[in-house]
Amino acid sequence: MTGTQRPGVTVFLTGLSGAGKSTIADALVASLEAEGRPVTVLDGDVVRTHLSSELSFTREHRDLNIRRIGFVAGEVVKHGGTVVVAAIAPYEAAREEARALVERNGRFLLVHLSTPLEVCEDRDVKGLYARARAGEIPGFTGIDDPYEPPARAELVIDTSVTPLADSVARIRAAIDEESAAVA
């Protein structure tokens, strides 16, 4: 990294399915790109399609998927890039591994979208929660597989009470606050 290059940062959005990860990621990316800041997006579903298609949803495979995301994010921030990750990432140990992979090269901002399960179920346009409750999708996070809330989240946002614009503003403030501290 050169002396004039901004330190790289990964914003890692985690939460249940339907918590608002992709919605916030899209709005955050638009906000950053409007200022001319290029952003790499690592959406959990897209990564599973293109980088982890051979993986199942066992704990070991979910952890491996998050390690892969952490590795890629770390490589981008090493060169001063900005990464926005939107992934359920249900297990604390895997999120902390991703943090370690990124922090070797740049900054890591963990954002826990703490939206209540009931709200996530109400938002579920694909009917995944109903299918999980009916036993059609075993191991579904929040139903019969745990979501371990982060112990070290830099931000906690409940999207059922925090409007989208406010959520993005809080994340931008955290990015800018950390950037000022590093400079």
What local confidence, expressed as pLDDT, does residue 180 receive?
57
Question: How many CB atoms are closer than 10 A to CB 179?
Answer: 13
Closest residue by Cα to residue 37 from 83, 71, 99, 101: 83
What whole-number distance in Å separates Cα of residue 145 and Cα of residue 88? 12
22-53 pLDDT tens trace = 999 999 999 999 999 999 999 887 777 777 66
Q: What is the mean pLDDT of the chain?
A: 90
Return the bridge partners of 67, or none: none
The fraction of the chain above a pLDDT of 90, given in percent, is 77
Q: In whole angstroms, what is the distance from residue 168 CA to residue 69 CA?
A: 22
Q: Supply the pLDDT for residue 47.
A: 76
Alpha carbons 37 and 9: distance in angstroms, whole number: 12
**What pLDDT, in 10s, does the model give residues 112-126?**
999 999 999 999 988
In this prediction, residue 4 carries a pLDDT of: 54
Q: What's this model's pTM, rounded to 2 decimal places? A: 0.91
Which two tokens mark 22? Answer: 């992709």
What angle, 0 to 180 degrees and rounded to 10, lies between the N-to-C axes of helices 59-78 and 92-103? 20
Using CA atoms, how far apart are residues 20 and 27, in angstroms rounded to an integer? Answer: 11
Q: What is the CA radius of gyration of the chain?
A: 16
> β-strands 9-15, 82-86: how paired?
parallel
Quick: pLDDT tens for 81-94.
999 999 999 999 99
Mean pLDDT, residues 69-88 taken together: 95
pLDDT digits (tens, 9 = 90+) for 148-170: 999 999 999 999 999 999 999 99
Q: Strands of 39-43's sheet, edge to edge?
A: 39-43, 82-86, 9-15, 107-113, 155-157
User: Taking residues 127-136, what's their average pLDDT?
Assistant: 94
Predicted local confidence at residue 128, as pLDDT: 93
CA distance 20 to 160: 9
According to the model, what pLDDT value does residue 60 have? 83
